[in-house]
Amino acid sequence: MVMGQTGFCNILDVEKRFKIHQKIARSPKVQAYMAPGVSNEKKTEDEQSSRENSIHLCNPHLEKMKEDILYHFALGTGTHDFPSLFGDVKFVCVGGSPSRMKAFIAYIAEELGLGSPGGDYPNICAGTDRYAMYKVGPVLSVSHGMGIPSISIMLHELIKMLYHAKCSNITIIRIGTSGGIGLEPGSVVITRQSVDATFKPQFEQVVLGKTIIRSTDLDEELAKELLQCSKEINQFNTVIGNTMCTLDFYEGQGRLDGAICLYSEEEKLQYLKEAYDSGVRNIEMESSVFAAMCNLSGVRAAVVCVTLLNRLEGDQISSSHDVLVEYQQRPQKLVGYFIKKSLGKV
């Protein structure tokens, strides 16, 4: 399969953007930086429409490849007909657990009236044990594992797959669990911005030995649409707030119960209160790279996570299994309602 020009970033644009990244990374005002995919200048209607409708691959090297093997999906352009398999996809939901994403596809199939009750949905990525993928109608459900490295690998291959399938008008939503700050357990947080552990709305990555900074803003209108859907459901508390994305589960999130902890409880609480004062309402480990990569690829995206505990009151999850299962269904219910409403089935 030889890929054409449409949808690729020009090599000069990529190089220019890379140089901008380096300049900004060295700047003391790095937090004010708007990464590629987010411009301070007003876009023309044609540019905005193009950004909303198509997947952009910011890698001109892919154009030279006759075949693209998505190794971690066990899929490839030389062995699979991507437009036939995925061309009708409009909604992609991603989450950490394979079993949770299988449960979601069964749930959305029932909600949309597709498939039979109790029907089985095969794992499209059954040729690998890295990720799981399920599809029903226009909805794709994909697991991403835990943490930034795992979700970034998945997103590289997912974005390429959607491009090869010639998909358009895609909405990608991460659904998951998180630790809340100042919220009752079971509250759902729709992310306004993903911030790092210093509360800056940015994703920092080292590429070729140099640090680059990318924007972590998410689609504001999509967040508002999801909040409105929650109001219409009226089953659980939902807020829009910033999400802190950390590099690990224990020290990086200020827990006191890890194998290593060299700070006091007072220091922990002071840090979490500072996070709350900055607008952070929950903590997880994937949203920053998710937002950054969706921005660069021109994809409308959101993060919807339920809180399993209030971190100002403790570190360990103490709710019963049944309660936790119900909490984990809340993002599914919200996103499922959003998809139904978007398809005119509400």
Binding residues for substrate: 253, 255
Token pair listed for 343: 């398809």
State the amino acid at position 310 in one-letter form.
N
Close Cβ partners of 27 (under 8 Å, ≥ 6 residues apart): 33
Known binding residues are: 130, 174-177, 253, 255
Q: From residue 328, give the alpha-carbon distance in Å to each of 168, 285, 310.
A: 29, 17, 15
- As a whole number of angstroms, the distance between CA 48 and CA 52 comes to 6
CB atoms within 10 A of CB 3: 18
Is 232 strand, coil or helix? Answer: helix
161 Cα distance to chain centroid: 16
Q: Which residues pair with 215 in a beta bridge?
A: 202
- Minimal CA–CA distance to 39: which of 25, 28, 27, 51? 51
Q: What is the DSSP string of 256-308?
A: SSSS---S-HHHHHHHHHHHHHTTEEEEESSHHHHHHHHHHTT-EEEEEEEEE
Q: Which residues pair with 214 in a beta bridge?
A: 203
Known binding residues for phosphate are: 130, 174-177
